[in-house]
Structure 1
Amino acid sequence: MRQRYLALLSVFASLPAMALTFQTRLESIEWTVEGDKFECRLTQPIADFGSGEFVRRAGEQATFRLKAYNPMIAGGSATLLAAEAPWQPGRGDINLGSVKVGSGDVLFNSSQLQAGRLIGGLMDGRSPLIRHYSRDGGVSEVRLLPVSFSKAYADYQACVAKLLPMNYEQVKQAEVGFPGGGIDLDAQAKAKLQVMLSFMKADPTVNHIELDGHSDNSGNRLTNRDLSRRRALAVMDFFKANGVQESQITMRFHGERYPLAPNTNTANRARNRRVNVHLERVAPTDKPAPQVSSASGAATTS
């Protein structure tokens, strides 16, 4: 009897571990769409686990993230699959690569390419499947189902159509060039500033602008310093003409002191004739007084 018991133990020990699967019941599947001008989210809640969520920020393509309130999956790695749906066996799974799993509420964020292929798989009736390998060798699976995905995706696309062209990280800094050597804003410069202005109007928390004017070394230092000042003023005047208060703008000018490239040829000198524009979120108590600063460090209140 003991020999039979040991033999059975040996058989069970040789079998692969069963995967623990998290999946919402078919009749309870739902997709939700939320968003604004800055971000759109397409989410499927996962029973007893958390949710799978496609997130698209303004100016970017979507990523996929897995959120959890269940501590059973944390650390290790996971494989993303566009898996055959349970009711469509025989199609085979598509391996989309691996992701590193963390331990917070958001377990991972996929690449944009992986998210795009997951969306394509959902449109084709496939299931996003996350197969997690813990450090102790355990295997868990989290599955989303494509039920009612097409309707939800149409609502998500409607949200995406209203996103701003850029997000804050993309829009917060810009270089406005003066390639012709003058002080007037050309069409390209105005287009850059208009994008920044539109973002400020959409997000009132972005409430301060810093301007730094620069020149090449073609003239004497006094002339170059004045050119850098007038270029910065041209940018300031653009913002003021479009509703930005002067108290929201800090302006500095540096002449030829900080070149981007050596002033050794025409192309480099054109690069150095510029105004650097930086958008900031400044709390009301932290707002600097409006000022115009010269390259020497002296400042005058405008």
Structure 2
Amino acid sequence: MRPHLVLLSLFISLPAAAITFQTRLEKVEWKVDGDIFECRLSQPITDFGSGEFVRRAGEQATFRLKVRERWMGTGSATLLAAAAPWQPGRGDINLGSVSVATGEVPFNSSQDQAGRLLTGLMEGRSPVVRHRARSGNEPVEIRLLPTKFRQAYNDYLTCTAKLLPVNFEQIQKTQVGFPGSGTDLDDMARAKLDIILEYIKADPSVNHIELDGHSDNGGNRLTNRDLSRRRALAVADYLKANGIPEAQIVVRFHGEQYPLVPNKGEANRAKNRRVAISLSRETAPSEAPTTPDTAKPAIAAPAATS
């Protein structure tokens, strides 16, 4: 297709009187940056800000815009994987809506939308956001171009390959189960703890760990309390053996007092035999807990044998 026809086709495809933000083809660049916690693949957009794909540890990517000026009004915008004007016969793919709010990052797409945008870029499609201007009803279009995408995408994949398996929010509250009636860690429990340990060693700001031991109601009150104590200590010992300072660990035990589910049937009782792990970032020791989840128990009875 001749150049003037390409330009004519592009002009016809735009909404009437749209305010359009798009970097000139010869100035398009993709940037890749990140670390073991998050990777970002972005394209600066002239006079607007940037569009970027963000993948956090333990998650798939989302797509978002970062804006310098509030050009877009709030409400629902349309997200497209738009065909290039030089791809005759290929229509735009409507990926649904995104909810636009205020702030530097007005929206984050779903993971599915971002995945389809990345696939579209590999096919020569453009991520496009269509909405309306903040100051009126004029349509606004923000477009990223697929130029130079493949090499940048390879660099992005190199970054994502180094991400941790989880992010902080995914392990901040964790349950380690004891499906049997004992107090020994099984393979599943150790695997969970190994993931937590990997994250803590990578993020030294996480410096406070609370362990709350629980039991089912299968024994008497003192026996159940001691079983919950021994389970919490088993987790604490595993963490300490793998480099976590004892001063960062708080151990509590509650017996049968706070079941996750009613103790009806073996499956439910197994769920209640657990240690709840809470991670936090603290600069000073916290005051004594007062809520049921953090209530400090009385001295436990001598060790039970069942």
TM-score of the pair, normalised by structure 1: 0.88
Query: Where does residue 146 of structure 2 map in the other structure?
Result: 146
Query: Where does residue 245 of structure 1 map in the other structure?
Result: 245
Taking the aligned partners of 2:295 and 2:91, their CA distance within structure 1 comes to 66
Taking the aligned partners of 2:278 and 2:159, their CA distance within structure 1 comes to 28
Query: Where does residue 98 of structure 1 map in the other structure?
Result: 97
- Higher-Rg structure is 1
In the TM superposition, 1:147-226 aligns within 5 A as 147-226=147-226
**Is residue 120 of structure 1 aligned with residue 119 of structure 2?**
yes
Taking the aligned partners of 2:89 and 2:47, their CA distance within structure 1 comes to 28
Taking the aligned partners of 1:296 and 1:164, their CA distance within structure 2 comes to 33
Query: Where does residue 84 of structure 2 map in the other structure?
Result: 85
Query: Where does residue 227 of structure 1 map in the other structure?
Result: 227
SS of alignment partner, residue 119 of structure 1: helix
SS of alignment partner, residue 158 of structure 1: helix
Contact 1:62/1:112 (8 A) holds in 2: yes
Q: In the superposition, relative to structure 1, how do residues 299 and 17 fare at CA in structure 2: closer, same or farther (>3 Å)?
A: farther
SS of alignment partner, residue 66 of structure 2: strand
Q: In the superposition, relative to structure 1, how do residues 288 and 202 fare at CA in structure 2: closer, same or farther (>3 Å)?
A: farther
SS of alignment partner, residue 107 of structure 1: coil
Contact 1:17/1:138 (8 A) holds in 2: no
Q: In the superposition, relative to structure 1, how do residues 76 and 295 fare at CA in structure 2: closer, same or farther (>3 Å)?
A: closer
Contact 1:74/1:107 (8 A) holds in 2: no
Taking the aligned partners of 2:285 and 2:42, their CA distance within structure 1 comes to 38
Taking the aligned partners of 1:211 and 1:296, their CA distance within structure 2 comes to 11
Contact 1:129/1:144 (8 A) holds in 2: yes
**Is residue 266 of structure 1 aligned with residue 260 of structure 2?**
no
Greater shift in the superposed pair: 272-281 or 148-157 = 272-281
**Is residue 69 of structure 1 aligned with residue 74 of structure 2?**
no
Deviations 1:99-127 (A, max 9, x none): 11112111211111111111111000011
Query: Where does residue 3 of structure 2 map in the other structure?
Result: none
Question: Quick one: which amino acid aligns to residue 277 of structure 2?
Answer: V
Deviations 1:171-226 (A, max 9, x none): 11211111110111111111111111110001111111100011111111111111
Taking the aligned partners of 1:296 and 1:88, their CA distance within structure 2 comes to 67
The alignment-based identity, stated in percent, is: 66
Contact 1:253/1:294 (8 A) holds in 2: no
Count of residues in Structure 1 that have an aligned counterpart in Structure 2: 281
Taking the aligned partners of 2:175 and 2:109, their CA distance within structure 1 comes to 31
TM-score of the pair, normalised by structure 2: 0.87
Contact 1:84/1:93 (8 A) holds in 2: yes
Taking the aligned partners of 2:44 and 2:87, their CA distance within structure 1 comes to 22
Q: In the superposition, relative to structure 1, how do residues 295 and 61 fare at CA in structure 2: closer, same or farther (>3 Å)?
A: closer
Deviations 1:26-57 (A, max 9, x none): 11000000010110000000000000000000
Taking the aligned partners of 2:125 and 2:250, their CA distance within structure 1 comes to 53
Taking the aligned partners of 1:294 and 1:132, their CA distance within structure 2 comes to 48
Contact 2:175/2:275 (8 A) holds in 1: yes
Query: Where does residue 54 of structure 1 map in the other structure?
Result: 53
Taking the aligned partners of 1:217 and 1:299, their CA distance within structure 2 comes to 19
Q: In the superposition, relative to structure 1, how do residues 296 and 65 fare at CA in structure 2: closer, same or farther (>3 Å)?
A: closer
Contact 2:71/2:133 (8 A) holds in 1: no
Unpaired runs of 5+ in structure 1?
1-15
Q: In the superposition, relative to structure 1, how do residues 65 and 155 fare at CA in structure 2: closer, same or farther (>3 Å)?
A: same
Query: Where does residue 41 of structure 1 map in the other structure?
Result: 40
Taking the aligned partners of 2:225 and 2:19, their CA distance within structure 1 comes to 68
The Cα of 1:287 is off from its aligned counterpart by 5.2
Query: Where does residue 9 of structure 1 map in the other structure?
Result: none
**Is residue 108 of structure 1 aligned with residue 78 of structure 2?**
no
Deviations 1:81-107 (A, max 9, x none): 111124334422111111111121112
The Cα of 1:280 is off from its aligned counterpart by 1.1
Q: In the superposition, relative to structure 1, how do residues 222 and 133 fare at CA in structure 2: closer, same or farther (>3 Å)?
A: same
